[in-house]
Chain A
Amino acid sequence: MREWVQSWPVRRQLSGRDPLGRGAAARSAGTDRKTARTSTADGVTKSICPFCAVGCGQNIYTENGRVTHVEGDPDSPISRGRLCPKGSSTLSLVTSPLRPTTVRYRRPHGTEWEDLDLDTALDMITDRVLETRRRTWEDVDDQGRHLHRTLGIASLGGATLDNEENYLMKKLYTAMGAVQVENQARI
């Protein structure tokens, strides 16, 4: 009770150095509690901005397994902690409520999306690859030249893929015999 009275702004105003009640005396509990969510994060992970090719450093703040903030990494000699509007929007990008998180399947001639289990989807795609490859395989051309390929499977990758991902893609496609493997880097 005594504490409550003492924290009553009018009492603070009349007894403190803020007789006009424009600062210290008028501070609310909410204001005193304000903390940056970067301070309460469980961890900070070093990352790189996923938009353009400048390669700005990003610090990813996380709490309870969720990203709570993304900010420029001041250590980066490239970006010195700065981010453009797109880089600054990274938190919204990675936590977007509009982001689809389940597999969607459209059967041939279908008019609506359907649900599909991820594992089943992988098996179905494996089937499609094997069947298409078998059907469209070219061992030699009409001049007897070694081809060892299929022109039945093509791929187009975005340029925001990791090097490691591109590497596995190129490696797997090449072993599959697919040659129409392309990337945003051309178009």
Chain B
Amino acid sequence: MNSDCIVIQGSNMAEAHPVGFQWVMEAKRRGATVIHVDPRFTRTSAVADLHVPIRAGTDIALLGGLIRHVIETGTYFEDYMRSYTNAPMLVGEDFRDTEDLDGVFSGYDPETGSYDVLSWQYEGAEVEASAGFRDERTMVQEHEHAEIAGSGGAPFSGTPSRDDTLQHPRCVFQVLRRHYARYTPETVEQVCGIDQDTFHRLAEALTSNSGRERTAAFCYAVGWTHHTVGVQYIRAASILQSLLGNIGRPGGGILALRGHASIQGSTDIPTLFDLLPGYIPMPHAHQDQDLDTFIEFNAGNKGFWGHMDTYLVSLLKAWFGDAATADNDFCFDHLPRLTGNHSSFPTVMAQARGEVPGYFVIGENPAVGTANSKQQRLGLANLEWLVVRDLNMIETATFWKDGPEIETGELRTEDIGTEVFFLPAANHTEKDGTFTNTQRLLQWHHKAVEPPGDCRSDLWFYYELGKRLKARLADSTDPSDRPLQDLTWDYPVEIGPTGIAEPSAEAVLREINGTDADGDALSSYLEMKADGTTSGGCWIYTGVYADEVNQSARRRPGGEQDLLALEWGWAWPMNRRVLYNRASADPEGRPWSERKKLIWWDGERWTGPDVPDFPVNLSPDHRPEREDAGAESIAGDEPFVMQSDGRAWLYAPAGLLDGPMPAHYEPQESPVPNVLYPKHRANPAREEFARPENPYNPPGDHFPYVFTTFRVTEHHTAGGMSRWTPHLNELFPEMFLEVSPELAAERGLVNNDWAHVVTTRSAVEGRVVVTERAKPLRVADGSGGTRVIHQIGVPWHWGPNGLATGDAANELLSVALDPNVHIMETKAATCDIRPGRRPRGPDLVAFLADRRRAAGLEE
């Protein structure tokens, strides 16, 4: 709304977030330029000022091109960059760039396909960083650092050297400049298929709308994250926006448009293997690691991560109550330990090997909703027991009865030993609770009616399960049962009109918020202590129950408030709406411009319409006495308070596993070589899985086309909430495939007839939608010439169950992951497409085996 230019890239915002998109339209009405960069021309493109078609999986080449353009033309926001980014910091002497090493950074081990990241550190910071745990510094520990980045940069210790003139050859600014020197408009054209004219229009729109007076924003979604180099996509945008001074200011930012009602909440209070609530890492297995050494290694010295001990001890107090004491490390050893990647895909592969007997699937539908869904079903078929809780009878619950493998004869129902419990779930109108939306805002939804029949909330289910487990183990003397015995589980229960004993969601929210020694609700995480006198289940959410009031349920009408609407719901942290908003003022604390003011120093305190994301009384000229006192070590002109140097990172000296700066790599499957780094087609540190059901398409003519998965606005994700609704299904009643007229001519595809897309994993059929919106792109072929790339759009909403059925796009995909966050690549892969329906039954198995043989994968 406050932006002067909005670049939507890796997101189809008008279709996936239509109501949020009203604010883009509002900005456009007020004169903002809206640009949509996407392989597909979508309903977002239709109302944008400019659509930039891009070859799927090449965004880093484009963003790198923009970074180079900004540096070489001097169009960065110089004062902002010098003061608020790490441009002046010196990188250690051991660092080598991809430009020096033919496509890998220093520290790469081709045997393991991973990096030793030590050489990427700042000069001056690395010595202290390695203190204490030098002997145990392993890749595993680097993972711990990577995970913390959900709520700020990875912590490190020490004071890096710097050169404020930005001339030193090893200062970040010069390192960055050299790294992107080859990302010219010509390169962008060759890699992305974006002509130079369009590139310059994009660059001009961005740079002319950034600076003191103007701001530009990026909006992305899973079009950026679902890549084997996904985290680096976001990093590339961060670098660009930091150079342009577009972070922490009204109308700026990099906005993650998340796809589910509380997917943000699901990472904040994570049901993720590697995190504890509030982005505290789950501990890995170590020799003799106690609470203190865990904190010492994981907490930074400076900034708010410096107080991790208070957050973690409060969490342990919330979970284990009186049993958690200083003498027993507050039950730190009750936490189970990690020994590697226990994320979803490796777990499912372990299921398929019969190594994981039990599985809870709660409001999720991996049998059609996850990449390589056949692999998911093979996992399901090799469990001992499975609990599925959902609103509808989804494919994950019925795979044993009518799944695709039953049809092909690869599995027989009678042979599948999985015991299945399907428990019907309550919907959002039948329960109290909070969702955290994409802008970190917690909003309470009140229960309106009682759930019917056996339908229950997940809160009820887990509360009941916990109660029963505790009751059964009450007299156990087995030490492994101590955590369950010590677990605090006394939630008030309310008996509803139909007799359901529902635990109080408000009581749970209050526990998450935390309480002080007197049992009163905390109002801020600043009040948390490491001595066991405070408790709190998720430090970043502390304040949501301040003054004993459920702040997330506040609903002062928007019409009665300013645009920030601070009295509607509650945003973490501390109800701030714009993160790092100290950066909206210059180093002296004055707004960069009247037009873009948000937070400023009034002589005594930080003030403005938003809640300052800065110690409120810390004056701009404050200089810390010590570097290791957490928040007290922040200088008055260092806005990035979650970073260990207080600055936005143009170069990441820690926290990433596949490079300190983004470099262009092709997707796992690509029809062309990597023009920039011919020796490394795809991210050298990506995670691959060699399994029979997970073959990768080899390069070459057998899979000459690119496909990218997408959503339409009329459906939701894999369809669990939309395929049972008549009014949505009639709008998009069948699986379809979007192709250009050129590709249709090449392959003999006819509009509204059937076609099937083929990969080595599967074949999926759909109705052909021939559209001029789909545009073939011409790119470099890696051997001096060019070739045309056809891109096929494949929506992923369908499956065998529901009112409108169809093949699931996820059948087509392989599993290859980003190494930092273990997210799969769904947005770019290779395929073939043929007219007609796909083979059915056992014929499909034979057909796919043939295709694999033809491609040289099977004998």
A residues with a Cβ closer than 8 A to B are: 43, 45-58, 60, 62, 65-67, 70, 73-80, 82-90, 92-94, 96, 98-109, 111-113, 116, 118, 121-126, 128-130, 132-133, 135-137, 139, 141, 143-187
Complex CA distance for A184 and B137, rounded to whole angstroms: 31
Complex CA distance for A178 and B462, rounded to whole angstroms: 14
Q: Is B272 interfacial (CB 8 A cutoff)?
A: yes
Partner of B285, one of A78, A147, A159: A147
20 inter-chain pairs at a CB distance below 8 angstroms, sorted by A residue, are A43-B448, A48-B428, A51-B260, A52-B258, A53-B261, A53-B438, A57-B443, A78-B558, A82-B22, A86-B715, A93-B724, A106-B419, A128-B419, A158-B362, A158-B364, A164-B433, A171-B487, A176-B484, A179-B337, A182-B272
| Interface range on chain B (Cβ under 8 Å from partner) | 35 or more
Q: Which of B252-283 contact A (CB under 8 A)?
A: 257-273, 276-277, 282
In the assembled complex, how far is the CB of residue B625 from the closest CB belonging to chain A, in whole angstroms? Answer: 38
Partner of B270, one of A48, A51, A170, A177: A170
User: Across the interface, do B270 and A185 meet the contact criterion of CB distance under 8 Å?
Assistant: yes
Which residues of A lie under 8 Å from residue B563 when comparing CB positions? Answer: 77
User: Across the interface, do B433 and A162 meet the contact criterion of CB distance under 8 Å?
Assistant: yes
Complex CA distance for A133 and B456, rounded to whole angstroms: 25
Question: 7 more A-B contacts (CB under 8 A) besides A55-B435, A75-B556?
Answer: A85-B731, A86-B728, A132-B384, A137-B480, A153-B357, A160-B363, A165-B457
Complex CA distance for A131 and B457, rounded to whole angstroms: 25
Complex CA distance for A166 and B278, rounded to whole angstroms: 13
User: Across the interface, do A177 and B480 meet the contact criterion of CB distance under 8 Å?
Assistant: yes
User: Across the interface, do B728 and A159 meet the contact criterion of CB distance under 8 Å?
Assistant: no
User: Across the interface, do B424 and A99 meet the contact criterion of CB distance under 8 Å?
Assistant: yes
Complex CA distance for A86 and B558, rounded to whole angstroms: 23
User: Across the interface, do B448 and A164 meet the contact criterion of CB distance under 8 Å?
Assistant: no
Q: Is B722 interfacial (CB 8 A cutoff)?
A: yes
Which residues of A lie under 8 Å from residue B505 when comparing CB positions? Answer: 162, 164
Q: Which of B785-822 contact A (CB under 8 A)?
A: 803, 821-822
In the assembled complex, how far is the CB of residue B639 from the closest CB belonging to chain A, in whole angstroms? Answer: 26
In the assembled complex, how far is the CB of residue B217 from the closest CB belonging to chain A, in whole angstroms? Answer: 16
Q: Give 1 or 0 for each of B442-461: 1 = CB within 8 Å of chain A CB.
A: 11111111101111111101
Most A CB contacts (10 A, CB to CB) among B362, B420, B439, B497 go to: B362
In the assembled complex, how far is the CB of residue B332 from the closest CB belonging to chain A, in whole angstroms? Answer: 10
Complex CA distance for A147 and B456, rounded to whole angstroms: 34
User: Across the interface, do B443 and A180 meet the contact criterion of CB distance under 8 Å?
Assistant: no
Complex CA distance for A58 and B486, rounded to whole angstroms: 40
Q: Which of B322-336 contact A (CB under 8 A)?
A: 333-336
In the assembled complex, how far is the CB of residue A99 from the closest CB belonging to chain B, in whole angstroms? Answer: 6
In the assembled complex, how far is the CB of residue B32 from the closest CB belonging to chain A, in whole angstroms? Answer: 19
User: Across the interface, do B356 and A152 meet the contact criterion of CB distance under 8 Å?
Assistant: yes
User: Across the interface, do A130 and B438 meet the contact criterion of CB distance under 8 Å?
Assistant: no
User: Across the interface, do B360 and A156 meet the contact criterion of CB distance under 8 Å?
Assistant: yes
Which residues of B lie under 8 Å from residue A100 when comparing CB positions? Answer: 392-393, 422, 424
Q: Is B208 interfacial (CB 8 A cutoff)?
A: no
In the assembled complex, how far is the CB of residue B383 from the closest CB belonging to chain A, in whole angstroms? Answer: 9
Which residues of B lie under 8 Å from residue A45 when comparing CB positions? Answer: 429, 446-448
Partner of A156, one of B282, B350, B364, B466: B364
Which residues of A lie under 8 Å from residue B553 when comparing CB positions? Answer: 46
In the assembled complex, how far is the CB of residue B542 from the closest CB belonging to chain A, in whole angstroms? Answer: 13
Q: Is B347 interfacial (CB 8 A cutoff)?
A: yes
Given the known interface contacts A96-B725, A174-B483, A185-B272, the answer about A162 and B262 at a Cβ–Cβ threshold of 8 Å is yes
Which residues of A lie under 8 Å from residue B480 when comparing CB positions? Answer: 133, 137, 139, 148, 177
Which residues of A lie under 8 Å from residue B725 when comparing CB positions? Answer: 89, 92-93, 96
Binds A, one of B171-179, B408-416, B581-589: B408-416
Partner of A187, one of B319, B344, B351, B450: B344
Q: Is B418 interfacial (CB 8 A cutoff)?
A: yes
User: Across the interface, do A172 and B727 meet the contact criterion of CB distance under 8 Å?
Assistant: no
Given the known interface contacts A165-B457, A168-B508, the answer about A48 and B435 at a Cβ–Cβ threshold of 8 Å is yes
User: Across the interface, do A93 and B721 meet the contact criterion of CB distance under 8 Å?
Assistant: yes
User: Across the interface, do A51 and B721 meet the contact criterion of CB distance under 8 Å?
Assistant: yes
Complex CA distance for A76 and B397, rounded to whole angstroms: 36
In the assembled complex, how far is the CB of residue A104 from the closest CB belonging to chain B, in whole angstroms? Answer: 4
User: Across the interface, do A175 and B487 meet the contact criterion of CB distance under 8 Å?
Assistant: yes
Complex CA distance for A148 and B336, rounded to whole angstroms: 5
User: Across the interface, do B391 and A174 meet the contact criterion of CB distance under 8 Å?
Assistant: no
In the assembled complex, how far is the CB of residue B437 from the closest CB belonging to chain A, in whole angstroms? Answer: 3
User: Across the interface, do A103 and B424 meet the contact criterion of CB distance under 8 Å?
Assistant: yes
Complex CA distance for A70 and B290, rounded to whole angstroms: 52
In the assembled complex, how far is the CB of residue A151 from the closest CB belonging to chain B, in whole angstroms? Answer: 7
Given the known interface contacts A75-B555, A169-B271, the answer about A125 and B264 at a Cβ–Cβ threshold of 8 Å is no
Partner of A53, one of B259, B286, B487, B722: B259
Partner of B336, one of A83, A106, A158, A179: A179
Which residues of A lie under 8 Å from residue B342 when comparing CB positions? Answer: 151, 179-180
User: Across the interface, do A47 and B446 meet the contact criterion of CB distance under 8 Å?
Assistant: yes
Given the known interface contacts A84-B19, A99-B424, A156-B344, the answer about A171 and B358 at a Cβ–Cβ threshold of 8 Å is no
User: Across the interface, do A52 and B266 meet the contact criterion of CB distance under 8 Å?
Assistant: no
Given the known interface contacts A56-B19, A99-B392, A162-B262, the answer about A109 and B428 at a Cβ–Cβ threshold of 8 Å is no
Q: Give 1 or 0 for each of B544-576: 1 = CB within 8 Å of chain A CB.
A: 000000000101111101010100110000000
